[in-house]
Structure 1
């Protein structure tokens, strides 16, 4: 069990937040639109008829300050959200663990064996391992030891399994089997043994003889701590995960969030904690909400556009911003290279959307038969609008569907070619 650094981990399953409940209720109320909002609604009514979007589109636009629903279309329909699922995962991770949480990788020694102990750091690098190896070698030299065995301990997580809605074709490129130890994000079947082999070579390079093959085991209670490495803060990891839509980080965070809430590191327990955080901590409606993984690769996930928008809307609430602002900060920006809305992905590069470059930030989501875009933008009335658009089942080309969704997001901004 890891220690929980989050502010409310023990209380996460307590009674619902009255504030959040009030907030949720206000979104269902009918409010008259001002002229600027009416223009957004009218233009979205027109653009949402784009044949590229097919017949199954869910969408909603909310004013972030007033929670007024500016526009909605099948907003509560259960749809496959693809990587927009990561918004729910990130919310739970930041809430349970806290933005300043760091993941620790350790090296311990006992009975002639150095054990590399995984701590759920999906961002661990070879340089990080080399620093651990340097410290370990110094300790071995001080003890007069010139040879050692190496094993890995990835017992923090149970043996990897497929999530509901996954298939083995995802392994290892879309997602690696989820383990608590990995180096350089290697896309291999056994990331723990791979990390151990990298560590063993680094020891060898520093003059220590490693005997035998790297094995898997559990560090003994009496093992002596030798070295440790701490990751960047969770806030930074979440931002990176959202910018590039990293599936592996998302699944690792789901497990660490489960552990942080005192539950086993499984898909089932991780998603149960996500539901508790959203529903009980923040009062987000879980009607038609089905979540089976942390990344959104599961084809069984269902999240309405309204729920995705409500999750993002939490990041604009002063009561929650200190914890959740990193989600908004991590959203890819239209036209920003190196993220999933960048020009290298052909996003926001059509007449319908080019004028919104730099003005829209949103999480992308793409699976066969499901494309989503949920984010926020400052509209022409100067108010931040939160939006979510989820398309399922269109037979149009995927890039054409994305262009159409970009056009919807640009419309919220006031971009109208």
Structure 2
């Protein structure tokens, strides 16, 4: 791989370039890995360190959320909130959902309670769960089938509740069976035919715990689970959020003693003559983005993407118009042309996404240049201190801890990072991009524990980021 490396010498301001040199951290990565990296000064555009493949495409994974965050800041503004509205025409009741990814069961209960205070103690018609805010797929093209049962792949839906995610746990029994516990208020059904085995039996049979899902929010666990003294926590992505919400509303009506003569229907109500009764607002955009960036929340990212498309095109939001809006807004307001990149969702979960490290660096530079108004840098995770970087092996110890602000991203075979190196006063002085793809290390043996190759690479690379970020020429 060809490199261009520039070292700012302590004794002068001159820059010296050495081409086609080996870069030691790369030696830790398995053969066949692809890498595109860069470290650039924020007060100049000549990179300190860069690979020659900056225009090649890599799966961005969750570093794409940096791009989504910028587009939503520019197009939606800090006062943006998701709104969930309860309204009535004296016969029917409608709950208008907007895709609020933070709406909880208690929020919905409060809306219905406020409706009851205004005289809705008996509904003589139907309740409509209005899902017209979004259209199209609830899962982006390129989401693998084998992850749809877990919460980081919760479907992006207009009718969203409880983060489209439910908690459960599975216990091993002494008689070789297993049992599952799910809190009663979750309107899902979970069963288990999995058997309890010893670790030796598991290794001999190569039998693992597997999850099968069906569209009616039925989950079946099968296969094998190694015996354990404590339950194994589980999180299931709700497969049909509208059905889940429909069942939840039935339960809430009973709790609040609100009588319903008709049915709970999903879709747009037949009439437009509804008077608002109550509204629930989500947190404002900066708080949503803080959660999205620090926790790498896919549902927030994808529902914001659809909200972008809805506003820009004045139609129901979708993955299609939302991702088009991301590119268009960034081009119109920053001059950065992302057209060559493949953006399929806003979260980075799709394996179809492709991005260049060159364009990611351009986005990072724009964010830093305009951060007094954008305020995005402070929302990103800090190495070894918070969010998804708090426990990252390559960042949780000195000298890296607390010295980088960045967004991580990983999908199968990819380990990425995009962010900023800080000077000794805690201010960004460099930007850096790390795209590692086709990372397929050999499986560990049962001998002594070893440090993962990607961790060894990152530790050395981040030390270089830190060196360039905190370099001070001698006077």
Tell me if the contact between 1:62 and 1:386 (Cα under 8 Å) persists in the aligned partners: yes
Corresponding position: 1:384 with 2:384: no
Q: Which has the higher contact order (CA 8 A, sep 6+)?
A: 1
Q: Which of the pair has more CA radius of gyration?
A: 2
Instruction: Determine which of 375, 389, 397 is the counterpart of 1:341.
Output: 389
Q: In the superposition, relative to structure 1, how do residues 240 and 41 fare at CA in structure 2: closer, same or farther (>3 Å)?
A: farther
Instruction: Determine which of 121, 142, 158 is the counterpart of 1:165.
Output: 142
The alpha-carbon deviation at position 166 of structure 1 amounts to: 2.2
Q: Which has the higher strand share?
A: 2
Tell me if the contact between 2:420 and 2:432 (Cα under 8 Å) persists in the aligned partners: yes
Tell me if the contact between 1:361 and 1:377 (Cα under 8 Å) persists in the aligned partners: yes
Instruction: Determine which of 199, 205, 211 is the counterpart of 2:249.
Output: 199
Q: Which SS does the other structure have where 2:395 is aligned?
A: coil
Q: Which SS does the other structure have where 1:165 is aligned?
A: coil
Q: In the superposition, relative to structure 1, how do residues 124 and 236 fare at CA in structure 2: closer, same or farther (>3 Å)?
A: same
Tell me if the contact between 1:99 and 1:323 (Cα under 8 Å) persists in the aligned partners: no
The alpha-carbon deviation at position 63 of structure 1 amounts to: 1.3
Instruction: Determine which of 413, 418, 440 is the counterpart of 1:369.
Output: 413
* 2: CA distance, partners of 1:61 / 1:164: 32
1:271 corresponds to: 323
The alpha-carbon deviation at position 135 of structure 1 amounts to: 0.5
RMSD: 3.1
Matches within 5 A, 1:3-402: 33-35=7-9, 45-52=23-30, 54-73=32-51, 74-110=53-89, 112-140=91-119, 145=122, 149-173=126-150, 174-186=152-164, 187-211=237-261, 213-219=263-269, 220-264=271-315, 265-286=317-338, 288-317=340-369, 320-326=370-376, 328-337=377-386, 339-343=387-391, 345-349=392-396, 354-379=398-423, 384-396=429-441, 400-402=453-455
* 2: CA distance, partners of 1:44 / 1:111: 75
What CA deviation, in whole Å up to 9, does each residue of 1:16-43 have, x standing for no partner?
xxxxxxxxxxxxxx99752269799999
* 2: CA distance, partners of 1:39 / 1:316: 26
Tell me if the contact between 1:147 and 1:208 (Cα under 8 Å) persists in the aligned partners: no
Q: In the superposition, relative to structure 1, how do residues 346 and 32 fare at CA in structure 2: closer, same or farther (>3 Å)?
A: closer
* 2: CA distance, partners of 1:389 / 1:201: 48
Q: In the superposition, relative to structure 1, how do residues 226 and 207 fare at CA in structure 2: closer, same or farther (>3 Å)?
A: same
Q: In the superposition, relative to structure 1, how do residues 65 and 177 fare at CA in structure 2: closer, same or farther (>3 Å)?
A: same
* 1: CA distance, partners of 2:385 / 2:16: 27
Tell me if the contact between 2:124 and 2:262 (Cα under 8 Å) persists in the aligned partners: no
Aligned residue pair count: 377
Tell me if the contact between 2:87 and 2:276 (Cα under 8 Å) persists in the aligned partners: yes
Give the alignment's TM-score, normalised by structure 2: 0.72
1:9 corresponds to: none
Worse-matched range after superposition: 228-237 or 301-310: 301-310
Worse-matched range after superposition: 204-213 or 180-189: 204-213
Tell me if the contact between 1:44 and 1:411 (Cα under 8 Å) persists in the aligned partners: no
* 2: CA distance, partners of 1:369 / 1:299: 11
Tell me if the contact between 2:7 and 2:16 (Cα under 8 Å) persists in the aligned partners: no
Q: Which SS does the other structure have where 2:163 is aligned?
A: coil
The alpha-carbon deviation at position 276 of structure 1 amounts to: 1.4
* Unmatched 5+ stretches in structure 1: 1-29
